[in-house]
Amino acid sequence: MECRVLSIQSHVVRGYVGNKSASFPLQVLGFEVDSINSVQFSNHTGYSHWKGQVLTADELHVLYEGIKLNNVHHYDYVLTGYTRDTSFLEMVVDIVQELKRANPNLVYVCDPVLGDHGSMYVPQNLYPVYKNKVVPVADIITPNQFEAELLTGKNISTEKDAVEVMDLLHAMGPDTVVITSSDLPSRLGDRFLVSLGSQRHVRPDGSRTTQRVRIEVPKVDAVFVGTGDLFAAMLLAWTHHYPNDLKTACEKTFSVMHHVIQRTISYAHDLAGPGRRPSPPQLELRMVQSKADIEDPAIVTEATVIP
């Protein structure tokens, strides 16, 4: 039986960001995806110019009511990403709670898009909504280090700090937490980035166990837009296939990311020419061209289990 995903994310006409970064790879892997756009822009905001619209909470409610009236609101997953409006985010929470009442096994995957590198790139008033309303109903979250620190109020300076932050996030609600990037030093050298993951399980006897992993991935000297959306979608897919094996799910997810990014940066450098930095249009993710890697990624990034 196929799995159905409700994806509520941004949409751009040009390039792969938000729903386009999530829907295509999920569909390639056999998921049926219904998409609602939180914003609809001509292109992502990394370009010099952009135009478009922001969906309101009322408009989201109308779309969801239309789905309900046709009795096709039976989902296995909800996936959310970038939004800029508090009332819209609160409406998302209401929808998730209603869908969970209808299907207690529904999994909500949330990329809590707040900011990075010490600064927020969404309005400040979204922070308490994420902390107090969104994260408590999420099952899987994919913050970066800045977002994880912001949500927990604890700084990450060591791997031990990161484990404690992930435990704090577990205590807020989610059973699976992946810190997608951090400033922690890599054991492989300064050309690698450290990510960490943690997954709680309930044993048949009711006791809990936690698997924690560390993943070290090569850094790429370029700015990509849409990778967070792709990451959350791939983590959804691979935790679906490996629900009790975070190590394998992360290896598959990060390997997909590696293949897509390497294909993109190679293409971008070819277009830019020798000695020139690629432009935002040249760095649009090569998603369709990576279809085979999305379906069956060669594992290039191995995760280490943290004792």
Annotated catalytic residues are 229
Helical spans, DSSP H, in the chain:
19-28, 57-69, 86-102, 126-129, 135-137, 145-152, 159-172, 227-241, 246-272, 291-295
> Cα separations (Å) of 70 from 63, 73, 74, 99, 214?
11, 8, 11, 15, 44
> Do 177 and 197 touch, CB atoms closer than 8 A?
yes
Tell me if 141 sits within 8 A of 197, measured CB to CB.
no
**What distance in Å separates the CA atoms of residue 170 and residue 152, rounded to the nearest whole number?**
10
Q: How far apart are CA 181 and CA 231, in angstroms?
A: 11
Contact between residue 78 and residue 5 where contact means Cβ atoms under 8 Å apart:
yes
